[in-house]
Chain A
Amino acid sequence: MTDRFEVPSGLKKTGLALLAIGIITIIAGAICFLGKHEEAGLTRFWLGLAQNSIFFLFMAITSVFIQAAAALAQGGWIVAYKRVPEAIGANVWVFGLIVLIILFSIVFGLGDHNPIYHWVHPDGDKVIEGKSTFLNKGMFVGFSIAAVGLWSFFGRKFRSMSLAQQSAPKNSTKLYWKTITIAGAFMVVYGLTMMSTTPWLWIMSIDAHWYSTLFSWHVFAGAFVSGMAMILLWTIYLKNQGNLILMNKEHTHDLGKFMFAFSIFWTYTWFAQYMLIWYANIPEETVYYNTRQNGAYSFPFYLNLVVNFVGPILILMSRPSKRNYFTVVFMALIIIFGQWLNLYLLTYPGPTGNNWHISWYEMGIFAGFAGLMILTVSRTLAKEDLIPHNHILLKEAVVHLS
């Protein structure tokens, strides 16, 4: 039994078109925003690139995380569509490299006054100077390279181990246990990067005066929901192409449950952070929410909660809706938009002030990265058989009931 996926020319054309839109947007953005030599334009140009690239990298790294989590829990349910998270995880390096180029350009290329990362040149700001042991260029570069490097390594490692299992002796569990060991190591790396330092350095340091210990968990929860939504979109696309023959509604139900449950978890972290700051009412903390909730950003602020909490909880709660291809695809698109908006609210308000836009520039760059994701992942998917032959949990995955 084989299950080969060949990239349809329509998908390839769509991917290339989206990528072209992205590149044209960057060129047009460079002409429009960088040409005037104004700080607002400069900020918008670089923030759009940073926010979108970080968003897509976080969605991709979730695929590595869910493989590691399923390996540690010895979960068989993921094996039916294992090649999808593997293919996304194997392409983490592409997005990681782009993120590194963009972030290092922001840190090193913006001259004496950095409008995005104020800590690069504190200019006598005592609060930021007090944080300089952690918030400095060396730490930023070191942690970023280590994080992206390790993520790319593990993403490729999980795929290569899974492919090696295909040619291993029948019923051999050697690679299975090795995968569990590697997954344990990845969890340590993931805990020290995605769940702590990476969101601090990349996102929280944009508002360098403010800090929250829950911040990285909040970012992780959002990345996890959108990452699972993207895996779901890929699996259902492949099913529509007649591939992924082992996958059925039980597995879709599982992915739907993940989207539902972690949307609630995202709201939990959001509210836990918000309520403590609201209750304590300390000016140096409330200023963060004041710029977002009252004033120019109040519309996206409340929209964010509606899209990421009210929508999923009401629409994805019932069992039939999690097993219906239309509802889950619709909700996956809604959640990806919602988490993109959430990341927008975490990055933009600090540097841009009350002058916010979500227009052709932001959407164009999003389209570019979506095209890149389509091209890279479909190319990797087409390389190997979509059935993980010889995986020892394959039978369990096929008879799985959600």
Chain B
Amino acid sequence: MAVKKFAIACYDDEAPLFDAVHKVRHSGYKLHDVYTPFPVHGLDTAMGLKETDLHIAGFIFGITGTSTALGFMSWIFTSDWPINYGGKPFFSLPAMIPITFELTVMFAAVGMVLTYCYLNQIMPGVKKHVFHPRQSDDLFVVVIEVTEGTDEAELMNFLNETKPVETDVQIAEEGWWYGRFDQEENYSKQFAS
């Protein structure tokens, strides 16, 4: 986790937002993230995000569920506690299929929810810096990292050319922390001093 300096630009519509994102990527500035009030179609491709690996995780979780169910049930019914159910063989595959299916679905679902939370850094109690209070209301917020080699004045000029409704420079915690929102103020003070 690191405290860094960020330049933000806020837009009130999708069209200037896409325009700005294209320009930022073209110019070579380091795009930190874009915050929008609702999912914007095509923004992930415009930002150059790679496709999520969540479905691969889902497949692995599902396969784990399948093998857990099949392995556990065959161990129980053949060696641990064999019981004769209506003359059926101890290892009865058709009877195990429904439970295998359910466990596959459950492992995949629970595992993907947890993986999703991990990838997006969301959990009860996990806090992240809010760049603009209206970023979940009616503003589209583009956040650019001001790295060591970035000329801040040049960047602000560049952002103002994209016609934002508001611009700002903030020093903020990049990642997440556990606890309260006001704890981040301490980080900022440390950084400033």
Contact = CB atoms under 8 A, between A and B. Distances in A.
Contacts of A279: 94-95
Interface in A308-323: 317-319
A260 to B, nearest CB: 13
A265 to B, nearest CB: 13
A303 interface: no
B68 to A, nearest CB: 19
Given A281-B86, A401-B41, A275 B55 contact: no
Nearest to B41: A401
Contact of B97 (A271, A317, A318, A319): A271
B161 to A, nearest CB: 31
Given A281-B86, A317-B59, A319-B55, A275 B94 contact: yes
A274 interface: yes
Contacts of A278: 94
Contacts of B87: 281
A264 to B, nearest CB: 11
Interface in B118-167: none
- Looking at chain B, what size class is its interface with the partner chain? under 10
A219 B81 CA distance: 40
Chain A facing B: main interface SS = helix
A275 B94 CA distance: 6
Q: How many A residues touch the partner, as a band?
A: 10 to 19
A122 to B, nearest CB: 34
B55 A274 contact: no
B87 to A, nearest CB: 8
A7 B164 CA distance: 56
Contacts of B59: 317
A266 to B, nearest CB: 15
A319 B59 CA distance: 12
Contacts of B95: 275, 279
Contacts of A319: 55
B184 to A, nearest CB: 38
A136 B22 CA distance: 72
Nearest to B56: A318
Interface string A260-280: 000000000001001100110
Interface string A264-301: 00000001001100110100000000000000000000
Nearest to A280: B86
Given A317-B59, A319-B55, A401-B41, A275 B97 contact: yes
Contacts of A275: 94-95, 97-98
A275 B59 CA distance: 26
A317 B86 CA distance: 38
Nearest to A277: B94
A281 B97 CA distance: 17
B22 to A, nearest CB: 20
A278 B97 CA distance: 13
Interface in A21-64: none
Interface in A90-116: none
A155 to B, nearest CB: 36
Contacts of B97: 271, 275
Contacts of A401: 41
Nearest to A319: B55
A191 to B, nearest CB: 27
A278 B95 CA distance: 9
Nearest to B59: A317
A274 B86 contact: no
Contacts of A318: 55
Query: Which of B55, B87, B94 has the most A CB atoms < 10 Å from its CB?
Result: B94
Nearest to A276: B94
Contacts of B98: 275
B35 to A, nearest CB: 23
A261 to B, nearest CB: 15
Contacts of A271: 94, 97
Interface string A67-85: 0000000000000000000
Contacts of A281: 86-87
A303 to B, nearest CB: 18
Nearest to A272: B98
Contacts of B94: 271, 274-275, 278-279
Interface in B88-129: 94-95, 97-98
Interface string B42-55: 00000000000001
Interface in B52-66: 55, 59
A274 B55 CA distance: 31
A271 B100 CA distance: 13
A274 B98 CA distance: 12
A134 B114 CA distance: 55
A271 B41 CA distance: 40
User: Which 3 A-B pairs give the minimum distances between C-beta atoms?
Assistant: A275-B94, A278-B94, A271-B97
16 contacts: A271-B94, A271-B97, A274-B94, A275-B94, A275-B95, A275-B97, A275-B98, A278-B94, A279-B94, A279-B95, A281-B86, A281-B87, A317-B59, A318-B55, A319-B55, A401-B41
Interface of A: 271, 274-275, 278-279, 281, 317-319, 401
Given A275-B98, A278-B94, 8 more contacts: A271-B94, A271-B97, A279-B94, A281-B86, A317-B59, A318-B55, A319-B55, A401-B41
